């Protein structure tokens, strides 16, 4: 099995790249989806978040209002750090469980885990390789403003909460430029996928010699 981390800045189009990798045959684990799962009412992460940020961040049905919570943490680095300290351990445990399920099902799987804050959280050591989905910072701002109906200041606050995307380039094994057309991105994904298959085959041929 090949274990790949995929990251990028906000608005970079990771979900689109995930879709293209899924079409190629990858197993996709979305850390945002895992975070939603561990933040469901009365689960440990939910309890910790409510204790730290109060009941005012809850919807009427008890679920966390992510817009309200985001408005708090993305304007205060210490509060964002506190949120990550609550959520990340629970997410990692759920991720490990899903990895184990995939490995049991398919020992030659290529698993791609979509993690927005992979480098910020120092998770590189969990993966065989890391893929970065890259667009320019200005394009990030434009896309986030359009997607979330944010003003420029709100979009910039979201970017400031992450490591600048250009600094991530040297930390990644593969960089996918996602500023072109969908067909161009799909072509790049296909080329990277061929490289990943080669790496998985090499890894599959490694034989542990007893010592």
Helix (H) or strand (E) holding 154: helix 152-160
Mean pLDDT of 157-163: 88
140 confidence band (pLDDT: 50, 70, 90): very high
Answer yes or no: are the C-beta atoms of 45 and 90 closer than 8 Å.
yes
Q: Where are the domains of the chain?
A: 2-204
pLDDT tens string 167-180: 999 999 999 999 99
pLDDT tens string 89-137: 999 999 999 999 999 999 999 999 999 989 988 999 999 999 999 999 9
Burial of 132 (0-12, 13-18, 19+ CB in 10 A): buried
Answer yes or no: are the C-beta atoms of 26 and 129 closer than 8 Å.
no
- Which CATH superfamily includes the segment(s) 2-204? P-loop containing nucleotide triphosphate hydrolases (3.40.50.300)
**Residues whose CB is less than 8 angstroms from the CB of residue 208 and which lie 6 or more positions away in sequence, other chains included:** none
pTM of the model: 0.84
State the Cα–Cα distance between residues 90 and 94, nearest whole angstrom.
6
Answer yes or no: are the C-beta atoms of 35 and 117 closer than 8 Å.
no
């Amino acid at each position: 099995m090949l274990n790949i981390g995929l990251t990028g800045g906000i608005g970079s189009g990771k979900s689109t790249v995930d879709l293209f990798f899924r079409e190629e045959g990858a197993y996709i684990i979305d850390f945002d989806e895992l975070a939603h799962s561990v933040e469901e009412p009365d689960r440990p992460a939910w309890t910790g978040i409510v204790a730290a940020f109060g009941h005012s961040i809850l919807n009427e049905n008890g679920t966390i209002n992510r817009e309200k919570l985001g408005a708090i943490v993305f304007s205060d680095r210490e509060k964002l750090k506190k949120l990550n300290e609550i959520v990340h351990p629970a997410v990692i445990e759920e991720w490990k469980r899903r990895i184990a399920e995939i490995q049991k099902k398919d020992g030659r799987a290529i698993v791609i885990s979509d993690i927005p804050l992979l480098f910020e959280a120092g998770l590189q050591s969990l993966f065989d390789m890391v893929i970065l989905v890259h667009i320019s910072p200005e394009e990030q701002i434009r896309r986030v403003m359009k997607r979330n109906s944010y003003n420029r200041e709100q979009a910039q606050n979201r970017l400031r909460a992450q490591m600048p995307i250009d600094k991530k380039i040297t930390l990644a094994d593969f960089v996918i430029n996602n500023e072109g057309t969908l067909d161009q991105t799909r072509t790049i994904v296909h080329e990277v996928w061929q490289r990943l298959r080669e790496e998985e085959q090499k890894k599959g041929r490694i034989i542990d010699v007893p010592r």
